[in-house]
Each structure stands twice: as C-alpha cells, then as structure tokens.
Homo-oligomer: A and B are copies of this chain.
Amino acid sequence: MNFSSKLIENAVEAFASLPGIGRKTALRLTLHLVNQDLQNTEQFAEGILNMRRNIKHCTICFNLSDEAICNVCSDKRRDRSMVCVVESIRDVMAIEETSHYRGLYHVLGGLINPLEGIGPSELQIDSLLQRAADDEIKEIILAISPTIEGDTTMFYITKKLRDSSVKVSSIARGVSFGGELEYADEVTLGRSIVARMPYKLNNE
C-alpha cells in the first residue's frame, strides 16, 4: 500500500502485527481512530498498555490475575478439593461461563509439543504436581483437548500422579447435548459408542 503519511503507515503496521488483522483492516481501524477524538485513542491505548504492564499470573494456579492470587483461588466458597487442569486462560473462562464447576483451576500455559520444543519444564506441570501433593486436593480433572499434544500432556500428568492418592479424571467426551448424530464427526461418534454409559433416569 502507498501511504502518503509515515505516521499512518506506522499505525497500520502496529495493527497489522496483531493476529488475524491484515493491512486493509488495519487501515480501516487507523482511519476510524483518526475520525474520533484524540481522547478515544488515548483511552484505547491506555486500556491496553495498563493491562499489559500490570497483568500478573496467579502464583497458585497461573491464571491471569490483577493481584498475586486470582479471584478464583482467593474465593473461600470454592471447593478446594478439586483442581481442573486446562491449557489456557480461555478454557478457564469457557468453564466459568457454564457455572457447573465450583473447584479450583491450574493453567498449564500450553501443551507438551516436542516438535516446537515445548517440554514439561516449559509448562506449569511441576507446580501442578506440588499442588497435587497437598492433602486438601482429592481430584485432578483434566480438561484438555484430545489432540496429539493434549493426549501426550494428559498421559504425562497421569503417569506422574500414578503413585499419588489423588484421583485423576478427564472431562466426558461424546456427541454434544442437542447434537444430531448425523452431524457428529466419525471419531466422536465411534468413540461415543465404545465409551457408552449406563442410561440414567432423571439424572439420578
């Protein structure tokens, strides 16, 4: 693109450095800010800079947090006997949205991926094993995607916890509630039949 202004070009480059934003979109965003008051752009930049400068990882569960300990870990009403292990903060948000889980979390910060040089020591796995050694914790729930990396990570964690007294479980997998069978993918449908469950009346 042929910019008449170096300032515009720099702003477009800044936006285009974000994932999923191309140069055409970046230009549209830049011109949008030019057409707004200076104050708007200052608030925009402030919100993002302030977040990046002050955001912390919870020292217990490694969730993103404003304080040293996140509001899940510091919430006295949560069930402290369960720890749900997830890949990233996005999974924490997705599970919190459901309101079906009242335990604690542990954010690994990624999955074991030897091809990209990510081993257990790059992730929050040692800290998880330390937490699991605490008598208060009875169950570790693995809520990790069943990809190659996810399976490797679940296998590694489960193996490390084999001799411990905590119960290790994984979230249920199968055809989604409300999903029509014909639209379920083959792997999910096949595994759903193999891993069939006793049919319960009235959620008893």
Contacts and interface: CB of A to CB of B under 8 A. Distances in A.
A139 interface: no
Interface residues of A, number: 58
A96 B31 CA distance: 17
Given A66-B5, A72-B4, A93-B4, A48 B54 contact: no
Interface stretch (A9-17, A76-84, A181-189): A9-17
Interface string A20-49: 110001011111111000101111111111
A195 to B, nearest CB: 30
B49 A45 contact: yes
How many copies the complex holds: the figure is: 2
A177 B50 CA distance: 50
Interface string A103-118: 0000000000000000
B7 A55 contact: yes
Nearest to A95: B2
Contacts of A89: 4, 8, 31
Contact of A93 (B2, B55, B63, B88): B2
Contacts of A64: 4-5, 8, 34
B10 A19 contact: no
A7 B41 contact: no
A15 B19 CA distance: 13
B34 A4 contact: no
B44 A8 contact: no
B28 A93 contact: no
A199 interface: no
A132 interface: no
Nearest to A44: B14
5 contacts: A2-B93, A4-B64, A5-B66, A18-B44, A42-B52
